[in-house]
Chain A
Amino acid sequence: MKYSRWLVIIPYFFLATLPLCWLLLTSLKTQEAAISSTASLIPTTAENLAPGDLSFSVTLDAYRKLATPHTGKAHAFFHYLLNSVIIGLLSTLTSVVLGTGCAYGFSRFRIAGARDWLFFILSTRFLPPLAVVVPVLMMYRVFNLPNTHLGLILLYTAFNLSLAVWLMKGFIDEIPRAYEEAALVDGYSPLQAFYKIILPHSATGMAVTAVFCLISAWNEYGFALALNNAEAVTVPVYFAGLQGNIQGIPWPQIAAGVLIFVVPIAVFTVLVRNHLLRGVTFGTIKQ
């Protein structure tokens, strides 16, 4: 039993990390080696390798070039990465804060038509978001929102809020009311009880919600493309825009950029994974 687990896990690990390994190898190659018709797999420091050799000489050029604007582009990769970071983090933050507040309200207070409101909130996810790209674009023009960070932050918050409300409501529903009531009778106001009791207990839920919101904002392409052509261009749009580049597609730079792009999400997810393992309920209230 003990070994049969590894019989599954090890092959799957290689299968799952294969694309990442390929990215890593490509990012270390020269443009010529990257587009060569024979694949070279083994990184070496040796120079002047024969064509068709299984080895390739390692270079960090691709990473260096990320700092300078590519031909035909206004900014270097890191500029677009910063756009992604700003838009991703702020929209995630707004979604989690608003979602938590909204979920707390639905979970703890009597709200007229609560079930209908919750269904309405969920229903905003029934359509693929791109179905509304034209009206959104027209509204945004009125408010001068295209080509702004704010525009994408608002949009991603709106898309992610339904998910955040539903996820957070599930988590907050699990927190026994008795904890808050204990804080109330211990002399704390409802707001203080929310801060001191509910928030620490919903940390796990907020972390999970944040991962989902961040990943969805981080990867979004359609709206980012439709709403921006200059200022708030995010990484996915930037990479796609390199197609048809006069110098050809700079694969090593794209590979290097994608790796850098993936790292924050991977780190974030691993952090939250630890949080998840701590468990949602603490099991001290038997009900």
Chain B
Amino acid sequence: MPFLELQNLQKTYPDGTRAVRGIDLQVDKGEFIVLLGPSGCGKTTTLRMIAGLEDPTGGQITLDNQNVTHLPPSQRDIGFVFQFYALYPHMTVQKNIAFPLENIGTSPADIEAALNRVARALGVEALLDQYPRQLSGGDQQRVSLARAMVRTPDIYLMDEPLGTLDAEHRLELRAFIRRQQLSLSITAIYVTHDQEEAMSLADRIVVMDGGKIRQIGSPSEIYNHPADLFVANFVGSPGMNLLNGQLVQHGDSLTFTRPDSDIHIPIHANIAPMRSVLTQRHEDTKTQSSMASKQVVLGMRPEFIRPANRGIPGDVILSEYQGSHGYVHIDTPIGELVMRSTDRFAIGEKIHLHLNETHIRLFDPDTGTALA
């Protein structure tokens, strides 16, 4: 029995906007789930429905064996961290943190103890008597985390908590959240549009787009085996190289090519199930040609492309230097490719590229879904 379960969860706003179009998700206790997607993909709405801040228009939410779909937030045991901190401006840090305990009959001594515990954990002891407006963004978000953690709720819901912080505070708090997760095994749903944040925090990532889930998987599954073109392009910075072309069978071997080029990229045996896809299609269409082919999109991460003595020829058109490595944009006969490289290349330089065939991914250009 999952700890949190979303079944066909939907939200249509009164103006007709369908923010969430049927989401199914199961979360186990102690799992850290990241909802990842571009703005407007429905991730925040989903989180707010779990919190009870939005009323679902369809589906069901089960939390700890209880149907909480239409319960008010106060009757769900949740800790919520807001993107803009939402600290109560008229209360000191101390009062802010203690606020969730004050109406549930906690004794002053217990409040004091809980306050000290989270204040120490988050390093805000020195700030207790200050008002939120006197704090930096990073400190405000620490206090906000402390407020969410003071009650040890069933589940933490975080809505882009690091989104407005500067880079230094962001990395620091990200590491803190990850340590908390590892030491306390908190159950959390974390919303972000930052895929790097998602990768570093999540046990499982839920990639969303257009109010639907595109893929659920561990960070490495999401990164290495994107379920569709959207995930392939959205995850990774830069995203996957995506090339349109044809999958062609010559006897026993499969290659990727483009009609207007004589470059053939061999497709590794790990995509063998492709053969059956191809055969099936071939039979369906009753083509008598001895050569089966299918339109596909080839996907390749920039780090699996490297310069070689021979291979795909190309001209360097742009070089983005980033310190430890760089991204090189190369114009080739099969399309523009981005290569991750520690070497630097001059613009206009002619090079050859080698694609690591074990990391080739193929997608159906019509449906966008991954093949095999």
A interface list, Cβ under 8 A from B: 110, 176, 178-179, 181-190, 192, 197, 200-201, 282-287
Contacts and interface: CB of A to CB of B under 8 A. Distances in A.
B103 A192 contact: yes
Nearest to B80: A185
Given A182-B82, A185-B79, A187-B104, A284 B73 contact: no
Interface string B233-259: 000000000000000000000000000
Contact of A201 (B90, B140, B151): B90
**Max chain B Cβ within 10 angstroms of own Cβ: one of A178, A186, A192:** A186
A82 to B, nearest CB: 36
25 contacts: A176-B86, A178-B82, A178-B86, A182-B87, A182-B147, A183-B88, A184-B52, A184-B53, A185-B51, A185-B52, A185-B53, A185-B78, A185-B80, A185-B157, A186-B147, A187-B74, A187-B100, A188-B103, A192-B103, A200-B90, A282-B133, A284-B85, A284-B87, A284-B140, A286-B164
B72 A184 contact: yes
B72 A189 contact: yes
B103 A284 contact: no
A181 to B, nearest CB: 5
B99 interface: yes
Contacts of B151: 186-187
Nearest to A178: B86
B53 to A, nearest CB: 5
A20 B359 CA distance: 89
A200 B53 CA distance: 22
Contacts of B79: 185
Contact of B73 (A176, A178, A184, A282): A184
B123 interface: no
B85 A285 contact: yes
Nearest to B133: A284
Interface of B: 14, 51-53, 72-74, 78-80, 82, 84-90, 99-100, 103-104, 132-133, 140, 147, 151, 157, 164
A167 B98 CA distance: 33
Contacts of B157: 185
The list of the 7 closest CB pairs from A to B, nearest first, reads A282-B89, A178-B86, A185-B80, A186-B100, A184-B73, A182-B86, A284-B132
A176 B104 CA distance: 25
Nearest to A197: B88
**Max chain A Cβ within 10 angstroms of own Cβ: one of B51, B79, B88:** B88
Contact of A184 (B74, B90, B104, B164): B74
Secondary structure class of chain B's binding surface, majority of residues: loop
Contacts of B82: 178, 181-182
B86 A285 contact: yes
Contacts of B88: 179, 182-183, 197
Nearest to A201: B90
B86 A179 contact: yes
A275 to B, nearest CB: 13
A3 B147 CA distance: 51
B84 A178 contact: yes
B99 A186 contact: yes
A287 B90 CA distance: 19
Contacts of B133: 282-284
Nearest to B73: A184
A110 B74 contact: no
Nearest to B53: A181
Contacts of A181: 53, 73, 80, 82, 86
Given A184-B53, A201-B89, 18 more contacts: A176-B84, A178-B86, A181-B53, A181-B80, A182-B82, A182-B88, A185-B52, A185-B73, A185-B74, A185-B157, A186-B151, A187-B100, A187-B104, A201-B90, A283-B133, A284-B85, A284-B89, A286-B84
Contacts of A197: 88
A250 B86 CA distance: 60
A189 B104 CA distance: 12
Contacts of A186: 99-100, 147, 151
A284 B103 CA distance: 24
Contacts of B89: 179, 201, 282, 284
A31 B151 CA distance: 73
A72 to B, nearest CB: 54
A12 B14 CA distance: 55
A91 B90 CA distance: 29
Contacts of B78: 185
A222 to B, nearest CB: 41
A284 B136 CA distance: 10
Contacts of A192: 103
Nearest to A281: B89
Nearest to A182: B86
A189 to B, nearest CB: 6
B149 to A, nearest CB: 12
A285 B157 CA distance: 19
Contacts of A185: 51-53, 73-74, 78-80, 157
A33 B66 CA distance: 85
A182 B80 contact: yes
Contacts of A285: 84-86
Nearest to A193: B74
A145 B132 CA distance: 51
**Max chain A Cβ within 10 angstroms of own Cβ: one of B52, B86, B132, B151:** B86
Nearest to A189: B74
Contacts of B147: 182, 186
B237 to A, nearest CB: 26
A112 to B, nearest CB: 10
Nearest to A180: B86
A188 B74 CA distance: 6
Nearest to B89: A282
A236 to B, nearest CB: 39
Contacts of A201: 89-90
A153 to B, nearest CB: 32
